[in-house]
Amino acid sequence: MQQDRAEIIAAQALAWLAANDDLLPVFLGSTGASADDIRAQVGDTDFLGSVLDFLAMDDAWIVAFCDAAGLSYETPILARQALPGGGQVHWT
């Protein structure tokens, strides 16, 4: 996957997350970000990567996002790998 496509998918994930009244507060609390931060960093590839990292913490979140966006379930992970820091393997 090319980085520009990955950025689009991550931005879609961010928009989905922002519209999710139950999950958005969890994201904000776990990242320390504010609503203003989200608006300011929507074009930042590192921030977009963190959105995909957050979604990847729970399979149900990935499934819900992909179902809403019409994407295959592996797409967010492929997008994450195409963004800065996505090539790092974390075994924790």
Give every CB contact of residue 56 below 8 A, 6+ residues apart in sequence.
62, 76, 77, 80
pLDDT at 19: 92
Tokens 């963004």, residue? 83
Task: Give the percent of the chain with pLDDT over 70.
Answer: 92
Are 24 and 55 spatial neighbours (Cβ–Cβ below 8 Å)?
A: no
- Taking residues 32-53, what's their average pLDDT? 85
pLDDT band at 37 (very low <50, low <70, confident <90, very high): confident
Indicate the pTM of the whole model: 0.84
- Residue 55 in 3-state DSSP? helix
pLDDT in tens, 1-32: 888 899 999 999 999 998 999 999 999 888 88
